Amino acid sequence: MIRHWDLFLAPYKQAVEELKVKLKGIRSQYDMKSTHSPIEFVTGRVKPIASILDKATRKGISLDRLEEEMQDIAGLRMMCQFTDDIKAVVELLRQRTDFELIEERDYILHKKESGYRSYHVVVCYPVQTIKGEKKILVEIQIRTLAMNFWATIEHSLNYKYSGKFPENIKKRLQRASEAATQLDEEMSQIRGEIQEAQAIFSRKKESAEES
């Protein structure tokens, strides 16, 4: 059974590793040009087997349809400083020729009832295997640091309460989500100032490294 899962998950692992390198590469290119990168950092993971089984049961997905119907077995997250950076990142992804965007879900314009905000794209990514090319669905979640903070905390609480939050926690999480939206808006207002400060800091760092 374990061997079966290893074989099934191998191309997903490969896709996550390759895409991490590629998407982190975008950030390095901005760094080299010393211009603001719309990407702060990138993470990636293959969904644990227990979570795959959980989600399959929850959504009524039969195990022999996982490849077609579970879009986030391979998942990447791209974190941004500012809400506007998310649009820039999505545009960069749309322009790529090494994968195809097949679906977009805007949970920023359409926040989930929980308070969750993020922009999701599903891409079809070709992995090269010894048996030829295999196309893999990969979900990329693009969010600001504030959206990520909220989602990380809510996700851990979800484990504790198995999704059935007491009313007071649910309310607090919704209020925290509104506060995170406000934080994003405030930061966007002073974006120019922040970027100027960051540019000065990175120039100072460069000259310290050269001397």
Selected binder of ligand 0O2 within 78, 81, 120, 142 (CB under 6 A): 120
Name the active-site residue from 67, 104, 113, 139: 139
3-state class of 165 per DSSP?
coil
Contact stretch for ligand 0O2 (CB under 6 A) within 14-22, 79-87, 124-132, 151-159: 151-159
- Residue 12 CB neighbour total at 10 angstroms: 23
- Least separation in angstroms between CB 99 and ligand 0O2: 17
Does 165 help bind ligand 0O2 (rule: CB under 6 A)? no
Does 57 help bind ligand 0O2 (rule: CB under 6 A)? no
Does 105 help bind ligand 0O2 (rule: CB under 6 A)? yes
The two tokens of residue 122 are: 């599903």
Place of tokens 């649910």: 170
Selected binder of ligand 0O2 within 43, 114, 174, 188 (CB under 6 A): 114
Does 143 help bind ligand 0O2 (rule: CB under 6 A)? no
**String of b and e for 155-183 (b: at least 16 CB within 10 Å)?**
eeeeeeeeeebeeeebeebeebbeebbeb
Helix-, strand-, coil-residue percentages of the chain, each rounded to 5: 60, 20, 20
Place of tokens 């693009």: 142
Does 116 help bind ligand 0O2 (rule: CB under 6 A)? yes
Does 151 help bind ligand 0O2 (rule: CB under 6 A)? yes
* CA distance linking residue 37 with residue 29, whole number of Å: 8
Does 180 help bind ligand 0O2 (rule: CB under 6 A)? no
- Residue 30 CB neighbour total at 10 angstroms: 13
Selected binder of ligand 0O2 within 94, 96, 112, 175 (CB under 6 A): 112
- Least separation in angstroms between CB 203 and ligand 0O2: 37
Q: Is 209 annotated as catalytic?
A: no
The two tokens of residue 143 are: 């969010």
Taking a C-beta distance cutoff of 8 angstroms, is the pair 27, 41 a contact? yes
Selected binder of ligand 0O2 within 47, 99, 108, 181 (CB under 6 A): 47
Selected binder of ligand 0O2 within 56, 66, 154, 183 (CB under 6 A): 154
| 48 φ, ψ (degrees, to nearest 5) | -60, 150
* Residues at the interface with ligand 0O2 (CB under 6 A): 47, 51, 55, 72, 105, 112, 114, 116, 120, 151, 154-155
Known catalytic residues are: 139
